[in-house]
Amino acid sequence: MKARINSVQPKVAAGVNLSEEKSAVVAEVMAALGGEYRAAGTDCGNDSVGSICGLRGYTENSERAEVSAELLIFSGLQGNELNKAVTMLREKGCSIPLKAMVTPHNKDWTVSALAEELAGEHEYMTSRGKRDSNG
């Protein structure tokens, strides 16, 4: 019988443009879940999502690009852990509107592309909520 070796993806939350206070809260939440927090530089826009989350096989892009959005990207968490992380952040008063989970679809995206996509989704959802409450 062959043994299977599953390369378990580490539990990581990568933050872009987070204040020291928010970074500390995210680090605390991730530690409680057995994971870690990584702060990405504001010039990580051309890096892949996989790179800033520390996925194997991904490296930093040598061409730097600024990201202005505040962004939090989770990797390696199971669904219940992701829900717990988001709940813990909310309970600690740590509001980060643009959040994502690394997926097979977005791990090759640049951080800038992900931030743009999330900002569009956030704008749609918040404007939709305002429209629905007016309507």
pLDDT interval class at 127 (50, 70, 90): confident
SS3 101: strand
6, part of any domain: no
5, part of any domain: no
pTM: 0.87
The tens digit of pLDDT for each residue in 19-59 reads 999 999 999 999 999 999 999 999 999 999 999 999 999 99
1, part of any domain: no
Q: How many domains does the chain have?
A: 1
- The stretch 65-88 carries a mean pLDDT of 96
* Domain region containing 60: 12-134
3, part of any domain: no
7, part of any domain: no
Closest by Cα among 16, 37, 40 to 119: 16
Q: Is the pLDDT of residue 5 over 80?
A: no
4, part of any domain: no
